[in-house]
Amino acid sequence: MKNSQTSTTADMDLWGRTLAAQLDVASQDLGHDIGERLRVARQMALKTRPMPQRLLRHSLALQANGTLSGQPDEGLNLWRILASALPLLALVSGLMFIQALQQDLAESDIASLDSALLLDELPPDAYTDPGFAQFLKLQQNARHD
């Protein structure tokens, strides 16, 4: 079994504080010139070092508003772009399928109404009656059932 030695950020912070305390004790015996150069060097090192708050903020954590945040993105590559476009493509193709299906249903309703009008003998007053189309639909449904 492998013994993995993982250090958490708290362990690293504790180690850094003890090292800084030891350096502070050792630097008290140095002259003013060397102390100032060390102070400037520390400030420059701290500017280039990422702050622990930024590191903790980007780690996987539950935020106050209930969202789960993870590591920041490393940029969009081709696979991420394709993966993000896939749901949009599925939505658009689904909407196009629904529209085509509804259009086919409307055309078949009109065609069945026209065939019923052409096959039956009707008086001319029937064509002007507003409820005639509904009557034909009910009659056609009764024939199919």
Residue 11 — very low, low, confident or very high, per pLDDT cuts 50/70/90? confident
Q: By the 8 A CB rule, do 70 and 60 touch?
A: yes
- pTM flag (> 0.95): no
68: which strand partners? 62
pLDDT of 3: 43
Residue 89 — very low, low, confident or very high, per pLDDT cuts 50/70/90? very high
Angle at 32 (CA atoms; ends 29, 33), nearest 5 degrees: 120
The one-letter code for the residue type at 14 is L
Q: By the 8 A CB rule, do 57 and 18 touch?
A: no
Beta strand 61-62 with 68-69 is: antiparallel
Residue 125 — very low, low, confident or very high, per pLDDT cuts 50/70/90? confident
| Nearest-angstrom CA–CA distance, 84 and 82 | 5
Neighbours of 97 (CB within 10 A): 10
Q: Quick check: 57 pLDDT over 70?
A: no
Residue ranges per structural domain of the chain:
1-62, 79-145
